[in-house]
């Protein structure tokens, strides 16, 4: 069975609307700089880490598929590569955060300003790691690793479209096997630097696992939504129900894994009952943030878990893509829950700057990805595994 994979020529409307929304978001952020500068940077960091964890999650998915020589993901591999294609823009979008480092990380940037002697002593003890030059160097290393492996995998795949002789996946497999530990480690340390250090006295060895699990399941969810949209638009005519079922199983598995990481991090910290650790959860268990925590548990785990347990829904593309879209949105709630409670003062969970930051970050990424995808087929047309990928059957 053969399928003609058309070249993607669309995207103009997507680019126009995305750029328009991005400009609206950027304008609102400019207003926010005068209204509430501190809250602006927390909102921007939440939106930014939401985008980065999803995109790096897609990179990890892509590398795992290459490393395992998995067949069925070849059918949706180009869509994963498209998500990864947002990395160069995300590297640029980190620049606004440089202007808010004092607002976000003031405690460890200026430990002398901390009144509590114990807290100051703990932060000073971490100064060999938590200092501005080393922070910036590490951030540069993270992006260098992600950009290098993302570009190698994407370009290698696209070269195969031009020449069947270049379509062998052996080189991409070698690159992925070599790069997986580096990408996993850099994502782990980025979670320490960008998120955990918002509360420099708080520590959790489970935290990078939690962040990885969230980003990975969000990437699979976004891939599911894109696969459904591409198939309905006629760009992936070879997709079968079994492909959606495979994606649905991954969504269910990593939704459970995220809940496992979240629960055991909470349980171990609560049992240890150390003041500097428990404070993280105390902050998120009272008042409006207590409600936000309950919403997160329901939206991120209970609801998708209950729905994805159903065998039939995982074999219904429209239903599965709706659940996947829900998970993509819930991942933002997760990043927001990690970041915004650390903002100083009494802060409400929701603020118009959250939407502004989300538009300012996600809008350009969508436009940039659509532009980079134009003129290319939405499947690696010369990959020798593609016919078998389209014949994939799963009961």
Per-residue pLDDT tens digits for 110-158: 999 888 888 899 999 999 999 999 999 999 999 999 999 999 999 999 9
| Listed range (87-101, 252-266, 273-287) with the worst mean pLDDT | 273-287
Residues in the chain: 395
pTM above 0.85, yes or no: yes
Supply the mean pLDDT for the chain.
Answer: 93
| Listed range (107-116, 161-170, 220-229, 353-362) with the worst mean pLDDT | 161-170
Distance CA 87, CA 145 (A): 11
State residue 222's pLDDT score: 98
* Contact partners, residue 332, CB within 8 Å, separation at least 6: 46, 47, 50, 358
Distance CA 395, CA 245 (A): 9
* Coil vs helix vs strand at 200: coil
Which residue from 212, 191, 186, 215 is spatially nearest to 202, judged by alpha carbons? 191
Going from N- to C-terminal start, the domains of the chain cover 12-382
- Give 7's strand partners: 377
Average confidence (pLDDT) over 359-387: 93
* Cα dist from 235 to 70, 74, 76, 391, whole Å: 22, 15, 11, 17
Q: Which residue has the tokens 């400019």?
A: 30
Q: Which residue has the tokens 């638009």?
A: 233
- Tokens at residue 84, please? 């990864």
* Contact partners, residue 381, CB within 8 Å, separation at least 6: 5, 161
State residue 168's pLDDT score: 66
Question: Would the pLDDT of 167 be above 70?
Answer: no
Question: Would the pLDDT of 93 be above 90?
Answer: yes
Distance CA 319, CA 326 (A): 11
State residue 170's pLDDT score: 84
State residue 2's pLDDT score: 57
Distance CA 183, CA 7 (A): 31
Average confidence (pLDDT) over 286-304: 95
Are the beta carbons of 121 and 276 closer than 8 angstroms? Answer: no
Helix axes 275-283, 241-272, angle to 10 degrees: 130
CB atoms within 10 A of CB 248: 26
Average confidence (pLDDT) over 264-274: 92
Distance CA 128, CA 388 (A): 52
Which one-letter DSSP state was computed for residue 375?
T
Which residue from 171, 150, 160 is spatially nearest to 67, judged by alpha carbons? 171
State residue 114's pLDDT score: 85
* Contact partners, residue 350, CB within 8 Å, separation at least 6: none
- Tokens at residue 74, please? 């070849």
């Amino acid at each position: 069975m053969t399928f003609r994979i058309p070249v993607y020529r669309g995207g103009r409307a997507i680019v126009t609307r995305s750029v328009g929304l991005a400009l609206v978001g950027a304008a609102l952020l400019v207003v926010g700089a005068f209204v509430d500068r501190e809250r602006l940077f927390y909102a921007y960091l939440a939106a930014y880490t939401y985008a980065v964890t999803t995109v790096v999650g897609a990179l990890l998915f892509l590398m795992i598929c290459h490393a395992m020589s998995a067949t069925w993901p070849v059918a949706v591999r180009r869509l994963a590569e498209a998500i990864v294609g947002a990395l160069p823009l995300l590297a640029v979008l980190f620049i606004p955060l440089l202007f808010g480092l004092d607002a976000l990380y003031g405690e460890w940037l200026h430990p002398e300003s901390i009144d509590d002697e114990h807290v100051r002593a703990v932060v000073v003890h971490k100064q060999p790691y938590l200092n501005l030059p080393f922070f910036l160097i590490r951030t540069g290393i993270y992006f260098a690793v992600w950009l290098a492996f993302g570009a190698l995998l994407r370009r290698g795949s696209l070269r195969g479209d031009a020449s069947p002789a270049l379509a062998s996946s052996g080189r991409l497999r070698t690159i992925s096997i070599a790069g997986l530990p580096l990408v996993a480690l850099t994502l782990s340390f980025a979670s320490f630097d960008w998120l955990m250090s918002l509360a420099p006295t708080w520590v959790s060895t489970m935290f990078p696992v939690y962040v990885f699990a969230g980003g990975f399941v969000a990437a699979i969810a976004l891939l599911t939504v894109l696969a459904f949209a591409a198939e309905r638009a006629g760009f992936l005519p070879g997709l079968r129900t079994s492909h959606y079922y495979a994606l649905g199983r991954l969504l269910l598995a990593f939704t459970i894994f995220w809940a496992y990481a979240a629960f055991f991090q909470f349980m171990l910290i609560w049992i240890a009952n150390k003041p500097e650790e428990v404070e993280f959860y105390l902050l998120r268990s009272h008042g409006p943030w207590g409600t936000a925590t309950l919403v997160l548990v329901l939206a991120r785990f209970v609801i998708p878990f209950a729905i994805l347990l159903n065998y039939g829904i995982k074999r219904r593309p429209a239903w599965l893509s709706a659940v996947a879209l829900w998970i993509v949105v819930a991942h933002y709630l997760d990043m927001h829950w990690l970041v915004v409670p650390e903002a100083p003062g009494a802060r409400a969970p929701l603020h118009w700057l959250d939407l502004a930051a989300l538009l300012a970050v996600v809008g350009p990424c969508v436009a940039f990805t659509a532009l980079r995808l134009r003129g290319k087929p939405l499947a690696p047309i010369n990959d020798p595994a593609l016919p078998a990928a389209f014949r994939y059957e799963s009961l």
